[in-house]
Structures are given as structure tokens and as C-alpha cells.
Structure 1
């Protein structure tokens, strides 16, 4: 199932390992929302992309929209609380994030949702993770990206200028504070040549 990935010139290793979280940089968005970013948190990200692309039980979904059923433009896989993740480094990443944000979040990350963007035609529309507790409580969603970079856009929920971050090749972004309630995020389609990307979204209990 793996699409062709143009490897990163800056990640020429097959050893899959996490770096420290000490260099995370925070950007305050407003309305109580913030994002933390750490480029290249994961070394060997291209090797992990290959393992996940081939080893994860990906599936397509269809959803009802505007009186018709459409195919979701990306492949999906989900690991609930207590389920083993598809690669040991993802377990370590979840544990490291839980430890790093323990004081602010007050609970661990327990689930992992994976999205496979096969090319520039795959996307996710503007949304916040507002199903469950994310609709009424401050929470966090941490995203680890492997594969080719794609733009993640964020904008205020009521509309306004967007913030853009290109994520891939082991980059980390954490959306925290009120971000899921007061801001929206999206991965838009692109007509530019775009290689495949997999994002891993770590969430606390009851946030979707």
C-alpha cells in the first residue's frame, strides 16, 4: 500500500528514535489557545513511514454530506485506550508526551488515530476535535507526522487569518489550551506535487 516517498535529505538514518522534548517552542494563538512545535522530533521518520504504510490495517470511510454519501479523502486507522500501537516508538512517543505535559494536561494521552494522506488530493476539512470532552474543556491533541510535509492550517473558529505549519519527516505539533474549541485546523488539498504523509494524533480519554 505504500506510496512512493521522497526521503528527507536531513534524515538519512534507519534508526528510529525520539529526541528530547526540551526544545519545544510555543506559539500563543489567542482566546486561550496555543501550539507547541518541534521539527524533527523523530529521527528515522522515513523508515517509520514505510513500516506504518505497510503494517497498519488502513481502511477507507464513507460519510453522509449534503444529502449524499462521499468517500473520506484519506485512509484511517484507530487505536483505543489499552490497545497496542502498531510500532514500539509510538508507545514511547505517547509516554514521553504524557510525561512532558503532565502538569498542564493533568492526565495521559491514551488513544492514537492515524491518517494516511496518499497525495495532494487527500485532505481533511476545517474542524476542531469537539466530539466528547473537547467541546467543553481545555485539552490537548499531539500530532507526530512522518512522510512528506503537508501544510496544517489553523484559524479562529469564527473566521480570520490562518496560521500555517508544514509538517512531515518526524515533526511534532501539540495543540493545547482552548485550541479545539476556539480554533479550527485543516490539511487542505493541493495541486502541487505532494508525496505521501502519515499523521499520528495522540489524544486523552474522551476527546475525538
Structure 2
């Protein structure tokens, strides 16, 4: 999958790998028992990983029913279940590092990986929470690593309220935890501004989508 991508000045020269979490990640407590952890640039060599994933992942275009019609999903997708091999070894490294850091708090490992390819500003995801499965009734975590050009991830309280913006790309990490999937929503909005492609890698526990 080819897409117009402008690498960062150092991104293609860095060695591909994940950095430390324990002393570096920063937590922001939200309302209703939700929180987010953010660590910019956690994955070094992120532009190299973007180019690899864009080429080797078997991306799929999906269509979904929206009210009285079927529409194209405005992004490309690939879901890796827990028994599937991830498309690059560094994603296994990332999952192991996340499990080591969050195992005690989460109480279980991250098992699956969902990948989304936002090709340009026309691709997006609407306001939602990951509430298919246990996320609708239980506290859980969703960890997202972003590679490629930054796009804003917006968060807002479910039912309305001021939104929070985090621009994510080039190896940035965000972890949404506590009640975040039940009591908050998140989105990647469309934009008319020129923007390059981005891939997000979402690590989740079993039965959270």
C-alpha cells in the first residue's frame, strides 16, 4: 500500500525499538474514573515501521451499514487475533513492554492488535468507545502506538462536555485506562488540511474491541 508520506528528519535513521515506560510515561486523570497515559516518541525508528507496515500488512477496505445504507469505512483495517503472528517483530516487543509495565494494574495481558491505516485527511473514525465485549461493563485498557504523520486524537466525556486533544504520530504512545471506554469517547476527525498518512496499532486484552 503506497501513500504519500513525509518522514521526520531522524525517523528513518533511528534504530527501530521501544523505549522505557516506567519513569517516562505521564498520566492524566480524567473525570468518572478514566485516565490516559501519554509518552511521545516511545517507539524509535517509527518512520521505518510505518513504511514496513504500509507494505506488508494485508489491509482491508470494509463496508458497514449506516442507518438505511451501506457505506465505506473511511480507513483501511487489519485485526490480529491473539493466535496470529504480528506483521513486525517490534510489535511483539511493544506488546511485551506494555504487558510488563501494566500487568499488575490491568490484571491480564494485552493479547490482540488492531491496525488502522488513515491514508489522508479524508480518513477518520467517529466518536466511540471500545465497548464491544467486556469494555462495555468493565474497566480495561487500550494502548495505541501511532506511526506516520501526526493526527489529532480527540477525547470527550460520554454525553457531552469539553474535549481533549492529543496529536499522535512518529512513535507516540497513548494508553486509555480505567473507565475510559465506558465513560469517555474518542475520535480521529476528518480534516481539510493537507496531512500525510498515519497507522495506529491498538493493543487490547481479550474480548475488548
Structure 2 residue aligned with 1:5: 5
Structure 1 residue aligned with 2:129: 128
- SS of 2:8's partner is coil
Offset of residue 117 of structure 1: 0.1
Provide the C-alpha distance between the structure 2 equivalents of 1:10 and 1:161, rounded to a whole number of angstroms. 35
Structure 2 residue aligned with 1:195: 196
Structure 2 residue aligned with 1:168: 169
CA deviation map 1:155-199 (0-9, x unaligned): 000101000000000000000000000000000000111100000
Contact 1:141 1:202 in 2 (8 A): yes
- SS of 1:61's partner is strand
TM-score, normalization by structure 2: 0.98
Provide the C-alpha distance between the structure 1 equivalents of 2:56 and 2:131, rounded to a whole number of angstroms. 29
Q: Give runs of aligned pairs for residues 108-187 of structure 1, distance below 5 A.
A: 108-187=109-188
Structure 1 residue aligned with 2:98: 97
Offset of residue 58 of structure 1: 0.1
Provide the C-alpha distance between the structure 2 equivalents of 1:34 and 1:2, rounded to a whole number of angstroms. 35
Provide the C-alpha distance between the structure 2 equivalents of 1:47 and 1:4, rounded to a whole number of angstroms. 14
TM-score, normalization by structure 1: 0.98
Across the aligned residues of Structure 1 and Structure 2, the Cα RMSD in angstroms comes to 0.8
- SS of 1:3's partner is coil
Offset of residue 9 of structure 1: 2.4
Offset of residue 4 of structure 1: 1.6
5+ residue gaps, structure 2, are none
Contact 1:120 1:189 in 2 (8 A): yes
Offset of residue 13 of structure 1: 1.6
Structure 2 residue aligned with 1:68: 69
Q: Give runs of aligned pairs for residues 26-105 of structure 1, distance below 5 A.
A: 26-105=27-106
Provide the C-alpha distance between the structure 2 equivalents of 1:121 and 1:12, rounded to a whole number of angstroms. 26
Provide the C-alpha distance between the structure 1 equivalents of 2:35 and 2:49, rounded to a whole number of angstroms. 28
Provide the C-alpha distance between the structure 2 equivalents of 1:64 and 1:8, rounded to a whole number of angstroms. 38
5+ residue gaps, structure 1, are none
Provide the C-alpha distance between the structure 1 equivalents of 2:5 and 2:181, rounded to a whole number of angstroms. 31
